[in-house]
Amino acid sequence: MFSKKGLTSLVIVLLILSIIILQLIVYDVFTRIRSLENAGFFLILGTDSGGKNSLGGRTDFILALKTGKTGLVAVRIPRDTLVSWEGKSLKINALLNIYGIEALKNTVKSIIKGNCFGYIILDYLNVVKLTDFIGPVEVEITKPMHYDDFQQNLHIHFDPGIYELSGNELLGYLRYRYDASGDIGRIERQKEVMEKLVKNFRRLSLLDMLKTALFFLNTTQTEFDVIQSLGFVKEIFRSSLSISFESLPYYLDEKGNVILSEEPEKEVSEPRVLIINNIPGFKSFSEIVKGQWLSRTGLHVDTVDMYLHTYNIEQEETVIFINNPADEIIEFFGAAHPLHKPEVFRTYLLQGVEEYYSLLDEYSKNRYYISDYDYIVLLGNRK
């Protein structure tokens, strides 16, 4: 049997070994954390309720959060992005519901080019309760937003103005996608709200931050790798919760689907082109036209979806106003809309001045202030 002195020595040896082993474990953890900086991303998913007759709803919000040189970087992936899984082409917002979380993680991994070390799935209905913890969000609405979906019990009604949104009102603002900008416009609204929610969160006390975190843990589906997440958290605190947003290069096809581009957006100066709708009742005008021009000409054009009758210009007529002493727009327009026969005014030669200023005046009355464009196209039907 051990003597009292021998037993004491054994305890001391075991304690020393335990300390050494603990130090080795801690060293290993922090070594792995350091080696994992900027090595992956955390996936944040927002899902809708799916409606009364749905089997589970779709992924309405897809965001990859990673670390950058100056803080956190949020990469937003449009819900209408076309992807391929098991040989089938579908929108990315359907992957989770049909094939599960691993399919969605692997698809985003191929887009972001990094490892997904964790995810959180937040049902949009929980947004209603989130503002109970971090307060309302102030937004400015510049155009009327009205939409009713009785299947999903979704009712959105805003007139132009400044609003303090929380709960169901904020949920409606986040989900609205029924204007000229469609899903891309919704991305911008979600980006705006996220930035303001982060600012609100930073103002909370430590106790309120903890309550918010517990709310997320209790109302979301979450999974993450502990070691990689510790490295990520370290970067979050080092960046003081600063966040920037990064866009993926894309274009829209003629059906309004988002097609991710392998090439980054061009930094070279492009002619500034504005395309205005001259066809009453033309739905999804902006998405279709932007996709046509980018895929057929390589140009990024601005659009105005709203149709307004313009003095001296017939409804559904196509007119090109050239403000720049260069006729390159003629070639670009022919590639984008080969079946159209436009009337061309060279305003720099004082052609079509009355029609041109009538157009500007009509749209300015409706808060569309048009200026500094090399070319303005009033797009009608094929003639």
Chain segment 305-333, per-residue pLDDT in tens: 888 887 778 888 999 999 887 778 888 99
Query: Quick one: which H or E segment has residue 139?
Result: strand 137-141
252 or 189: whose pLDDT is higher? 189
List, in sequence order, every residue forming a beta bridge with 74; answer none if it has no partner: 65, 245
Q: What local confidence, expressed as pLDDT, does residue 106 receive?
A: 92
Sign of CA dihedral 169, 170, 174, 179: positive
Nearest alpha-carbon partner for 228 in 151, 116, 324, 146: 116
Taking the C-alpha atoms of residue 148 and residue 163, their distance in angstroms, rounded to an integer, is 20
Q: What local confidence, expressed as pLDDT, does residue 104 receive?
A: 92
Taking the C-alpha atoms of residue 268 and residue 256, their distance in angstroms, rounded to an integer, is 26
Percent pLDDT > 90 in the chain is 8
Taking the C-alpha atoms of residue 276 and residue 258, their distance in angstroms, rounded to an integer, is 21
Q: Which residue has the tokens 């169901």?
A: 168
> Within 13 Å of residue 333, how many CA atoms lie on the same side as its CB?
24
Highest mean pLDDT among 99-103, 213-217, 265-269, 283-287: 99-103
Long-range contacts at 329-332 (CB < 8 A, ≥ 24 apart): 329/271, 329/273, 329/374, 329/375, 329/377, 332/271, 332/273, 332/293, 332/297, 332/299
Q: Which residue has the tokens 């309004």?
A: 256
Highest mean pLDDT among 171-185, 308-322, 353-367: 308-322
Q: Identify the weakest region by mean pLDDT among 24-28, 173-177, 197-201, 306-310.
A: 24-28
Taking the C-alpha atoms of residue 18 and residue 120, their distance in angstroms, rounded to an integer, is 36
List, in sequence order, every residue forming a beta bridge with 45; answer none if it has no partner: 62, 121
Domains of the chain: 40-248 (3.40.630.190), 268-379 (3.30.70)
pTM listed for this prediction: 0.51
Taking the C-alpha atoms of residue 362 and residue 383, their distance in angstroms, rounded to an integer, is 24
- pLDDT tens sequence across 74-124: 788 888 889 999 889 998 988 988 898 999 999 999 888 888 888 888 777
Mean pLDDT computed over every residue of the chain: 76
- DSSP state, 348? G
Mapped onto helix, strand or coil, the DSSP state of residue 112 is helix
